[in-house]
Amino acid sequence: MKYADSLVDPYQRKINYMRLSLTDRCNLRCIYCMPAHGVRAMQHARILTYDDMLFLAQTAVALGVEKIRLTGGEPLVRKGLTGFLQRLNAIPGLQHLALTTNGILLERYATRLKDAGVKCLNVSIDSLQAQRYAEITRGGDLAAWWRGIEASQKAGLHLKLNVVVIRGVNDAEIEDFAALAQHNPWSVRFIEYMPSAVGPGAKLQGIASDELLQRLQQNYPLEPMARRAPAGPAQEFDLVTGKGNIGVISAVSCPFCHNCNRIRVGASGKGRSCLFAYQDVDLKKAIKQRHEDQLITALCHLVKQKPQGHTIKEVPMSAIGG
């Protein structure tokens, strides 16, 4: 298959990054992601198999996708993951294989992830205080998270820590998170809360990146970093006197749509050209039938309907990989 650089949207953005959700299931119930009682999990028969996902990934890479990030739900709860990662990593032309996790299971999986070809992990963490962390995640164990981080460091994985900043909930810890990047070779990325959750999360309020950066610069000299391809949406800053760096993802106050290079595919095979797209494209039939031409057509159609910018609306994050 040789169709490289076929995925260019109507606004001349080259799409070279695919986020692939392995499951809608999760072992946490974060207040901004899903309701306290959870969501009704999809039946296994509705979820793409690993063979299905491999066929999708091979086709996407042939079309010019260079980076694949695996998401969930929580991807580490799906059985057989590391064998699938090895198969993904063997796809010719795939340059970056990454994974986003809440970190709870990393103590068990970090070495296996590295051996399977993953080099970079995005790990969610919204409080460094055990009680607050348990409240935000509705039951998460901060000690288990730290053991996972230690195992990941020992395995040699590059770490990016994702912090969703919520006013009145965890915004008092902004400087504490920056200190992690000061003393460790990690990227700490502050994410503006997007008002898209249902239930109690709809009442939460985020903090704009400009306000956050002003606070950080009072204690930490920051130097803007050049954007790296095929990078995600973070605006990154070197900590001049530290080991790591700081990133801000300003999806609300300063959208980054003009250089968005991503598409998303959910665990059931539905593709989204934007996190907040009003329509999706069902890729499942073409994938199940291993019909390469139909899948290429569907992926190209998905990219052609990518909007110039997003309109934030209520979307259950757990269902589409955030």
Tokens for 247?
């990133």
Q: Which of 161-170, 183-192, 234-243 has the lowest mean pLDDT?
A: 234-243
Give the Cα separation of 87 and 268 in Å (integer). 20
Omega before residue 80 within 30° of 0, cis: no
- Look up the pTM and report it: 0.91
CATH class of domain segment(s) 17-320: alpha beta
Report yes or no: 150 and 184 within 8 Å, Cβ to Cβ: no
Q: What is the mean pLDDT of the segment spanning 65-85?
A: 97
Domain limits, the chain = 17-320
Residue 5, pLDDT above cutoff 80? no
Report yes or no: 35 and 26 within 8 Å, Cβ to Cβ: no
Q: Using a pLDDT cut of 90, give the percent of the chain over it.
A: 76
Mean pLDDT of the chain: 90
Q: Any alpha helices (H) in the chain, and if so which ranges?
A: 50-62, 81-89, 106-115, 130-137, 142-155, 174-183, 209-217, 284-288, 292-304, 317-320
Encode pLDDT of 313-322 as tens digits.
555 555 555 5
Burial of 223 (0-12, 13-18, 19+ CB in 10 A): exposed
Residue 256, pLDDT above cutoff 60? yes
Residue 189, pLDDT above cutoff 70? yes
Residue 45, pLDDT above cutoff 90? no
pLDDT confidence of residue 203:
80
Report yes or no: 272 and 280 within 8 Å, Cβ to Cβ: yes
pLDDT confidence of residue 121:
98
Q: How confident is the model at residue 230 (pLDDT cuts 50, 70, 90)?
A: low
Residue 167, pLDDT above cutoff 70? yes
Give the Cα separation of 155 and 157 in Å (integer). 6
Give the Cα separation of 36 and 147 in Å (integer). 25
Number of residues in the chain: 322
Nearby residues of 95 by Cβ (< 8 Å), 6 or more positions away: 66, 67, 230
pLDDT confidence of residue 60:
97
Encode pLDDT of 92-148 as tens digits.
999 999 999 999 999 999 999 999 999 999 999 999 999 999 999 999 999 999 999
Give the Cα separation of 157 and 260 in Å (integer). 26
Tokens for 292?
């390469």
Compute the Cα dihedral for 305, 311, 316, 318 and give only its sign: positive
pLDDT confidence of residue 33:
85
Give the Cα separation of 320 and 125 in Å (integer). 19
